[in-house]
Protein backbone atom coordinates (compact mmCIF):
# COMPACT_ATOMS: atom_id res chain seq x y z
CA UNK A 1 0.00 0.00 0.00
CA UNK A 2 2.77 2.45 0.94
CA UNK A 3 4.70 1.47 -2.21
CA UNK A 4 1.67 2.43 -4.31
CA UNK A 5 1.48 5.80 -2.54
CA UNK A 6 5.17 6.43 -3.28
CA UNK A 7 4.59 5.47 -6.93
CA UNK A 8 1.65 7.87 -7.22
CA UNK A 9 3.65 10.71 -5.64
CA UNK A 10 6.50 9.95 -8.03
CA UNK A 11 4.08 9.96 -10.97
CA UNK A 12 2.60 13.28 -9.84
CA UNK A 13 6.10 14.78 -9.66
CA UNK A 14 6.97 13.48 -13.14
CA UNK A 15 3.71 14.93 -14.45
CA UNK A 16 4.40 18.27 -12.74
CA UNK A 17 7.86 18.49 -14.30
CA UNK A 18 6.91 17.37 -17.79
CA UNK A 19 3.55 19.13 -18.11
CA UNK A 20 4.79 22.25 -16.33
CA UNK A 21 6.90 23.47 -19.23
CA UNK A 22 4.22 23.42 -21.94
CA UNK A 23 1.76 24.89 -19.44
CA UNK A 24 4.10 27.83 -18.87
CA UNK A 25 4.13 28.61 -22.59
CA UNK A 26 0.39 28.03 -22.97
CA UNK A 27 -0.25 30.20 -19.93
CA UNK A 28 1.93 32.97 -21.34
CA UNK A 29 -0.01 32.83 -24.63
CA UNK A 30 -3.42 32.85 -22.91
CA UNK A 31 -2.54 35.30 -20.14
CA UNK A 32 -2.77 32.86 -17.21
CA UNK A 33 -1.16 34.71 -14.30
CA UNK A 34 -0.42 31.57 -12.25
CA UNK A 35 2.25 30.39 -14.72
CA UNK A 36 4.32 33.40 -13.75
CA UNK A 37 4.10 32.75 -9.99
CA UNK A 38 7.67 32.88 -8.75
CA UNK A 39 7.34 30.11 -6.13
CA UNK A 40 5.72 27.70 -8.62
CA UNK A 41 8.38 28.40 -11.22
CA UNK A 42 11.22 28.08 -8.70
CA UNK A 43 9.92 24.69 -7.54
CA UNK A 44 9.53 23.57 -11.16
CA UNK A 45 13.10 24.58 -12.04
CA UNK A 46 14.50 23.08 -8.83
CA UNK A 47 12.71 19.78 -9.45
CA UNK A 48 14.14 19.26 -12.95
CA UNK A 49 17.60 20.47 -11.90
CA UNK A 50 17.50 17.88 -9.08
CA UNK A 51 16.56 15.14 -11.56
CA UNK A 52 19.28 16.23 -14.01
CA UNK A 53 21.91 16.31 -11.25
CA UNK A 54 20.90 12.82 -10.11
CA UNK A 55 21.43 11.49 -13.63
CA UNK A 56 24.72 13.35 -14.11
CA UNK A 57 26.04 11.99 -10.80
CA UNK A 58 24.70 8.48 -11.42
CA UNK A 59 22.44 8.57 -8.37
CA UNK A 60 19.17 6.64 -8.38
CA UNK A 61 16.03 8.63 -7.64
CA UNK A 62 15.20 8.35 -3.93
CA UNK A 63 11.53 7.74 -4.72
CA UNK A 64 12.41 4.84 -7.01
CA UNK A 65 14.75 3.36 -4.40
CA UNK A 66 12.13 3.76 -1.69
CA UNK A 67 9.37 2.18 -3.78
CA UNK A 68 11.60 -0.74 -4.78
CA UNK A 69 12.55 -1.33 -1.13
CA UNK A 70 8.91 -1.27 -0.09
CA UNK A 71 7.92 -3.74 -2.81
CA UNK A 72 10.75 -6.22 -2.21
CA UNK A 73 10.61 -8.53 -5.25
CA UNK A 74 7.72 -6.48 -6.68
CA UNK A 75 4.93 -8.94 -5.88
CA UNK A 76 1.27 -8.02 -6.23
CA UNK A 77 1.81 -5.13 -8.61
CA UNK A 78 -1.66 -4.21 -9.83
CA UNK A 79 -2.82 -2.96 -13.21
CA UNK A 80 -2.64 0.75 -12.39
CA UNK A 81 0.82 0.42 -10.85
CA UNK A 82 2.08 -1.55 -13.87
CA UNK A 83 0.57 1.05 -16.23
CA UNK A 84 2.17 3.99 -14.39
CA UNK A 85 5.52 2.17 -14.24
CA UNK A 86 5.28 1.51 -17.99
CA UNK A 87 5.00 5.25 -18.55
CA UNK A 88 7.72 6.26 -16.10
CA UNK A 89 10.46 3.65 -16.41
CA UNK A 90 12.36 2.70 -19.55
CA UNK A 91 15.22 0.28 -20.14
CA UNK A 92 17.60 2.57 -22.04
CA UNK A 93 21.30 3.41 -21.67
CA UNK A 94 22.11 5.94 -18.92
CA UNK A 95 23.41 8.51 -21.42
CA UNK A 96 19.92 8.82 -22.94
CA UNK A 97 18.51 9.94 -19.60
CA UNK A 98 21.45 12.24 -18.91
CA UNK A 99 20.92 14.01 -22.25
CA UNK A 100 17.13 14.14 -21.86
CA UNK A 101 17.09 15.42 -18.27
CA UNK A 102 19.91 17.90 -18.77
CA UNK A 103 18.39 19.19 -22.01
CA UNK A 104 14.97 19.55 -20.39
CA UNK A 105 16.52 21.37 -17.41
CA UNK A 106 18.27 23.76 -19.81
CA UNK A 107 14.97 24.39 -21.60
CA UNK A 108 13.23 25.14 -18.29
CA UNK A 109 16.06 27.53 -17.39
CA UNK A 110 15.75 29.29 -20.77
CA UNK A 111 12.03 29.65 -20.07
CA UNK A 112 12.91 31.88 -17.10
CA UNK A 113 14.17 34.36 -19.69
CA UNK A 114 11.56 33.87 -22.41
CA UNK A 115 8.59 33.76 -20.00
CA UNK A 116 9.97 35.36 -16.83
CA UNK A 117 8.25 34.75 -13.51
CA UNK A 118 6.52 37.72 -11.90
CA UNK A 119 8.58 39.77 -9.55
CA UNK A 120 7.35 39.91 -5.98
CA UNK A 121 6.01 43.32 -5.07
CA UNK A 122 5.91 44.28 -1.43
CA UNK A 123 3.23 46.65 -0.20
CA UNK A 124 4.51 49.50 1.92
Model confidence band, residue 68 (pLDDT cutoffs 50, 70, 90): confident
pLDDT over threshold 70, residue 123: no
Using alpha carbons, list the distances in angstroms from residue 79 to 49, 64, 85, 89.
31, 18, 10, 15
Phi, psi of 29 (to 5 degrees): -70, -35
The pTM assigned to this predicted structure is 0.79
Q: Give the model's pLDDT for residue 79.
A: 47
Domain residue extents for the chain:
2-114
Q: What is the pLDDT of residues 21-48, one digit of tens each?
A: 999 999 999 999 999 999 999 999 999 9
With beta carbons less than 8 A apart as the criterion, state whether 43 and 117 touch. no
Amino acid sequence: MLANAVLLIHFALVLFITAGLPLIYLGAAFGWAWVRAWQWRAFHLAAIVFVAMESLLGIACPLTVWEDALRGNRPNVGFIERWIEGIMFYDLPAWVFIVAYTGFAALVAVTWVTVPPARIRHKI
